[in-house]
A and B are shown apart, each in its own frame.
Chain A
């Protein structure tokens, strides 16, 4: 892709995805985290739409629409419903405090630039150059998964990982074959539905959704 308005939008969208992931470490309010996920979804859809126009690729356009609906609207909506029904669990109570988390995020960004150096040096391309943004988002997602113990914040971690992978996929390959993309989106949607049902069931049964207090199964 040549420099121009299109590339600017792609770069901006990639930056927004990573920035939203890092902001997710900073904000403790679960409602704010969900808005950040929605923002990521919209950014990913915009990126896919720009690539679709640039490549004249109809199926990628369809994918952009699916991403917008699934990641931008439906999934954040489902999570927001869980949080609304339980005012007690709005705070994430991370195991690692915010300044330390932000330092860790900075390290993770550097690591992902080092790891993906090979990709960008082999195939120097305006888009490949941006791949570290996606990988950094994946790593920040893992960090959230490890350090946050509330059920909803774990779902947020999973979705951050997934959005990061989607970003890498769009930047490196301009999207998978349509059938695979649709299947993957459907799978993701169903996983979130399953997790939502389980969260509701856990709250009904245990009265909380704090995973540190689930300790019946261990060796």
Chain B
């Protein structure tokens, strides 16, 4: 019942947004729905503590600690994004850039998108997980193209085509896992073969040859959706062209939901093949993502594109952390998913606010933000500090523990390379943020531009405060993180 409610809450507000024309009240209803999702997620986390499993809808939905944790993450990031969506749509409709109908379509698609992500992490069946992940692509395509410019159109074409092809490869991988599972003697046949529970049960007996082929395809396929190099080319385009709240959702949680799928399959493969095989794949994907991010970040001119490449970096770090695969490392990976989700969402939302008040997101055209707009500048400053993995933010703790995990399993060399890439990225982001925050003369500043209402800052500042709090003390999450990590580490 609880699980069905979690998926249905955003769907219900989606219907609401479709029936009534867009207005502020509808926007606040979606915010309320996300608050409810966070609340239900916390309730689920309490329910699934100590290895209990909750299921619903005739066994089609299933939640363990890992699913519950992901529900909380999706809830928090989409809460932030939907508050800013109200501001975004309100401004756009007031300026006459988009019709009310267009704004309604936006709200409906965002709600469907969030519901699909929730369905993905709550699906009992790994085939159904695939269906939900593919559905997120469909829901987000028109959101990426919502600005209706040439560039937005190009970005949405690239996005839907590359991700559909990638996810098709993941489907082939899922077919092979299914094939291996139905050839296990004594394994129950029928619809439940691809259920996580029965797959984990049979994982010891799956044919290693078939599973190796399957894991290669799954890492390639879901890796496309995570944005891991070399299939990352859609990511910076889509993130820079989508409206800011959509970028926040995509970067903050969509990438991690695809990563969640990889974690599930990795757990199965680790039992059947031993950890080395998937580890190699993830190290290659992680290091190449870091390399791409490090080499391209310095040349970026656009704020949102820069943030997109930074997501590539963090997905690479997650891949390396998952490659280590110890309980500590996986708990750190999960904490990193939350920390990165919040920090990146705050920064994307703040850059959306920059677009509203300054009319552009080109870094050179919005200099000295800190002196001209102290609130926005401050949010950017602290957000970038969080993204760089500096204390007190939680990303520092999670990165440190991921590296500890990597060193513990003999991946010290990979951890060293990742630190090198992070140093380059650090320098690149510092250069950009110096221009952005302090910058040169501000004579070109747009004096007539509107101001940012103080209220807009509240969710963004609270996000950063939460992120810093988790860095100082992870106690509210400690037991949940370890329970969730133990789901995929045996």
Contacts and interface: CB of A to CB of B under 8 A. Distances in A.
Nearest to A142: B165
A219 B296 contact: yes
Contacts of B172: 138, 165, 168
B207 interface: yes
Most buried by B among A123, A195, A201, A217: A217
A187 B161 CA distance: 13
Nearest to A198: B157
B145 A198 contact: yes
B237 A217 contact: yes
Contact of A202 (B135, B153, B175): B153
B179 A173 contact: yes
Question: Which of B131, B134, B142, B158 neighbours the largest number of chain A CB atoms within 10 Å of its CB?
Answer: B131
A172 B155 CA distance: 36
Interface in B204-256: 207, 209-210, 213, 236-237, 240-241
Interface string A148-175: 0001001000100110010011001100
- Residue from the set B141, B175, B191 with the largest chain A CB neighbour count within 10 Å: B175
A98 interface: no
Contact of A198 (B153, B191, B213): B153
A33 B259 CA distance: 36
Given A176-B178, A183-B131, A165 B171 contact: yes
A85 to B, nearest CB: 18
B131 A187 contact: yes
Q: Secondary structure of the A side of the interface?
A: helix
A180 interface: yes
A194 to B, nearest CB: 5
Interface string A191-219: 10011001001100110000100101101
Interface range, A side: 35 or more
A179 B300 CA distance: 44
Interface string B147-181: 00011011111101100110010011001101100
Contacts of A118: 209-210, 213
Contacts of A119: 179, 210
Interface string B90-127: 00000000000000000000000000000000000101
Contacts of B164: 158, 191
Contact of A158 (B127, B142, B165, B299): B165
A186 B179 CA distance: 23
A122 interface: yes
Interface residues of B, number: 49
B179 A172 contact: yes
B183 interface: yes
Contact of B130 (A180, A191, A195, A219): A180
A110 interface: no
A22 B77 CA distance: 46
A61 to B, nearest CB: 16
B165 A122 contact: no
Contacts of B178: 172-173, 176
A145 interface: yes
Contacts of B165: 142, 145, 158, 161
A201 B175 contact: no
A115 interface: yes
B127 A180 contact: yes
Contacts of A53: none
A190 interface: yes
B60 interface: yes
Contacts of B296: 219
B134 A187 contact: yes
A26 to B, nearest CB: 22
Contacts of A168: 172, 175
Nearest to B179: A172
Nearest to A170: B175
B150 A219 contact: no
A115 B171 CA distance: 17
Contacts of A77: none
Contacts of B131: 180, 183-184, 186-187
A184 B156 CA distance: 21
Contacts of A69: none
B177 to A, nearest CB: 10
Interface centre among B125, B168, B172, B182 (most CB of A within 10 A): B168
Given A172-B176, A206-B150, A122 B168 contact: no
A151 B236 CA distance: 21
Contacts of A211: 157
B137 interface: yes
Nearest to A115: B213
Given A168-B172, A177-B194, A194 B142 contact: yes
A37 to B, nearest CB: 15
Contacts of B213: 115, 118
A178 interface: yes
Contacts of A145: 165
Given A115-B213, A177-B127, A180-B127, A216 B154 contact: yes
Contacts of A165: 168, 171-172, 175
Contact of A201 (B137, B153, B183): B153
B379 interface: no
21 contacts: A119-B179, A158-B168, A165-B168, A165-B172, A176-B175, A176-B194, A177-B125, A179-B128, A180-B128, A183-B131, A184-B130, A187-B135, A190-B135, A191-B134, A195-B161, A206-B150, A216-B151, A217-B151, A217-B237, A217-B241, A219-B299
Given A165-B175, A217-B158, A219-B236, 14 more contacts: A122-B210, A161-B168, A165-B172, A172-B178, A177-B193, A177-B194, A180-B125, A180-B127, A186-B131, A187-B134, A201-B153, A214-B154, A214-B157, A217-B154
Interface of B: 60, 125, 127-128, 130-131, 134-135, 137-138, 141-142, 145, 150-151, 153-158, 160-161, 164-165, 168, 171-172, 175-176, 178-179, 182-183, 190-191, 193-194, 207, 209-210, 213, 236-237, 240-241, 296, 299-300
